[in-house]
Amino acid sequence: MSNGLPNKEDNPDLIALYQVSADDIAFFKNQQVSTANYGVLLYGALYFTYRELGKSGLLVAIDVVLAIAIAIVFTIALSQLQSAIAVRRRRLKSIRNKLGKTFNESWEEGKKKGKDGDGIVVIVYAVMWIGALIDILLFCCSS
Encode the chain (143 residues) as per-residue pLDDT tens digits: 444 445 555 577 888 888 999 999 999 999 999 999 999 999 999 888 888 887 778 888 888 899 999 999 999 999 999 999 999 999 988 888 877 777 767 777 666 555 666 777 888 889 889 999 998 888 888 75
Which pLDDT does position 59 carry in this prediction?
A: 82
Dihedral of the CA atoms 130, 34, 29, 71 (nearest 10)? Answer: 30
Q: Please, is 62 exposed, middle or buried when counting C-beta atoms within 10 Å of its C-beta (0-12, 13-18, 19+)?
A: middle
Its pTM stands at 0.75
* DSSP label of 120: H
Distance CA 82, CA 37 (A): 16
Which pLDDT does position 1 carry in this prediction?
A: 44
What are 87's strand-pairing partners? none
Which pLDDT does position 62 carry in this prediction?
A: 87
Which pLDDT does position 37 carry in this prediction?
A: 92
| C-alpha 75 chain-centroid distance | 10
Runs of H (alpha helix) within 55-118: 57-98, 101-113
